[in-house]
Structure 1
Amino acid sequence: MTDVLIRPAHPFDAAFAVPLIQATIGRIGHALTGVTDDVTAERTLLGFYPLRGNRLSFEHQFIAQSPIGEPLGLILAYPGALAQGLDDPFRERLRSLGLPGHVESEGTPGELYVDTLAVTEAARGRGIGARLLDAAADRAVALGLHRVGLLVEDGNPAARLYTRQGFRPAGKRALAGGTYTHLVRDLT
């Protein structure tokens, strides 16, 4: 789809982005926030979204939008080497709730880690996910990284998109009660 604009996210994108992120990450959002339902997780993530220095901050996102400004999807990606530090605010939150401050960082050093790729239901099948993945690859190159990585849960139909985009399996991981395949796309 050529008429889609990919732009950096801004704090005011929270009302669009946070529900889409939580709907995509599900139990990982629960693990990060220390809650067990999507509504409370979204409320908590709304507080993190406008703040810099955490994995779900607007500063790590691009928004896909239509020519009239309608948001259609997003990609949240950051250098894997920063993952540990970007998860510290969530560890602090968990400890403040009296919970163990364990958050398993997902990113791998040497790659731009795609934490979340999400397209609205109405906009799926129009090539927007591929455009967002290309934007992440461009960002990786701009940062001097030679690989894009992500985790895909076993059985997720998005795995077909990742294969078409040149991703290949690089291992398995258990995370927040699910099994995921680490996929990487080498950039030359």
Structure 2
Amino acid sequence: MPEPIVIRAAVPFDAAFAVPLVQQTIGKVGLALTGADSDTGAARAMLGFFPLRDNRLSYQNVLIAARGPEPLGLLLAYPGAQAHALDDPFRERLASLGLPAQVESEGTPGELYVDTLAVTEAARGQGVGATLLEAAAAQARTLGLSRVGLLVEDGNRAATLYARVGFRAAGTRTLAGGSYTHLIWTLPG
């Protein structure tokens, strides 16, 4: 019988696992956020932010799913009301690169915003994503929030997981040139 999936808070040393997985998952949003022109450049910039506090991509906002010592996936989430402030370091980075300091903050006040849910290819289909979403629900409740929100791009395979868990469409948004559906999971009492 395989070891259970354990959820733990990330630490700065998780950057080597977490950052490439985040960029692989968010793609063009990561390029827009960092001002980079390649996934490698975006991941390099993110590596600088991950060990720091008080930014969107900080280890403070990440939970790691693991089986034994092996990390299987991650959840990057924060209160939607903090989204704008957590994006300020990225606005500063863009300005320092001579780029427009525009970052579209994604979170909505009143929700725990799931910025990134990512599972390694080898661990997909094993319940890791659902376990991480349950951890998000627990985190939301701890923070006094009654819903979890996220953006999903059309055609994303995870959309079936989100529907199964209880997420429902609450509108659409354009972000980094892409169209996304804003999904909300209203947590039971």
Q: TM (normalized to structure 2)?
A: 0.98
Q: Which runs of 5+ in 1 are unaligned?
A: none
Deviations 1:50-95 (A, max 9, x none): 001100100001000012x100000000000000000000000000
Q: CA deviation at 1:35?
A: 1.1
User: Using the alignment, how far apart are the partners of 1:19 and 1:49 within structure 2?
Assistant: 11
Q: Secondary structure at the match of 1:102?
A: coil
Structure 2 equivalent of residue 128 of structure 1: 128
Structure 2 equivalent of residue 4 of structure 1: 5
Structure 1 equivalent of residue 52 of structure 2: 51
Tell me if structure 1 keeps the 8 A contact 2:3–2:67.
no
Q: CA deviation at 1:2?
A: 6.8
Structure 2 equivalent of residue 186 of structure 1: 186
Deviations 1:95-153 (A, max 9, x none): 00000000000000000000000000000000000000000000000000000000000
Q: Secondary structure at the match of 2:134?
A: helix
CA-atom RMSD in angstroms: 0.9
User: Using the alignment, how far apart are the partners of 2:10 and 2:73 within structure 1?
Assistant: 11
Tell me if structure 1 keeps the 8 A contact 2:148–2:186.
yes
Aligned length: 187
Tell me which amino acid in the other structure corresponds to 2:109: P
Deviating beyond 6 angstroms after TM superposition, the runs of 4 or more aligned structure 1 residues are none
User: Using the alignment, how far apart are the partners of 2:181 and 2:14 within structure 1?
Assistant: 29
Structure 2 equivalent of residue 106 of structure 1: 106
Q: Secondary structure at the match of 1:106?
A: coil
Deviations 1:131-181 (A, max 9, x none): 000000000000000000000001111100000010000000000011000
Identical pairs, percent: 68
User: Using the alignment, how far apart are the partners of 1:36 and 1:151 within structure 2?
Assistant: 23
